[in-house]
Amino acid sequence: MDERDRQLINRLQHGLPLVRQPWQSVAQELGCAPGEVLDRLHALLEDGVLTRFGPMFDIERVGGAFTLAALTVPEARFDAVAEQLNALPQVAHNYRREHAWNMWFVLACASPEELDATLSRIETLSGLTVLNLPKEHTYHVGLHFPV
């Protein structure tokens, strides 16, 4: 990762401009060509420096539902259960925690009914009880990690 990559990552953490050609605008800000911006972004994703690049939606405002959930997974089954979760399109991501509830994940579904069905499906697939932790309040936290 070079200085231009750092500049791009720092810039993109603040979002894209809402204009017809956002890459052109970002490129002008950084003093490079739009193609270079896109090439660098693709390379950063391909190399795993960035794991995700995309919009953040308030899914509930469009009728969807999401929740934070957790499982207590026996160590011997951890990878297999992670694969089961990762195969479900509703699972946004999952991660390991050093706690009795050692696998945490986020579900994003098209409706509250789909969310309930997905939670039940995970329990059936894994044979484990899901701890469902739905959001009670929304807080907006502006977060930026300078690189």
Sequence-distant (≥ 6) Cβ neighbours of residue 86 within 8 angstroms: 94
Contact 78, 102 (CB under 8 A): yes
- Which pLDDT tens digit goes with each residue over 82-121? 999 999 999 988 899 999 999 999 999 999 999 999 999 9
Angle at 130 between CA 102 and CA 85, to 5 degrees: 70
Kindly provide the residue ranges of all beta strands, DSSP E only, lying in the chain, ordered along the sequence: 65-71, 91-96, 103-109, 131-133
Q: What pLDDT does 117 receive?
A: 97
**Structural domains in the chain, sorted by start:** 3-46 (no CATH), 59-133 (3.30.70.3460)
Q: What global pTM score does this model have?
A: 0.67
* β-pair partners for 103: 71, 96
Q: What pLDDT does 113 receive?
A: 96
Give CA 75 to chain center in angstroms: 24
Burial 75-104 (b: 16+ CB within 10 A, else e): eeeeeebbeebeeeebbeebeeeeeeebbb
- Which pLDDT tens digit goes with each residue over 45-91? 999 999 888 877 778 888 899 999 999 999 999 999 999 999 999 99
Query: Of 146, 120, 119, which is closest to residue 133 (Cα–Cα)?
Result: 119
- Which pLDDT tens digit goes with each residue over 6-30? 999 999 999 899 999 999 999 999 9
Q: What pLDDT does 41 receive?
A: 96
Say if residue 137's pLDDT is above 90.
no
Arithmetic mean of pLDDT over the chain? 93
Q: What pLDDT does 61 receive?
A: 85
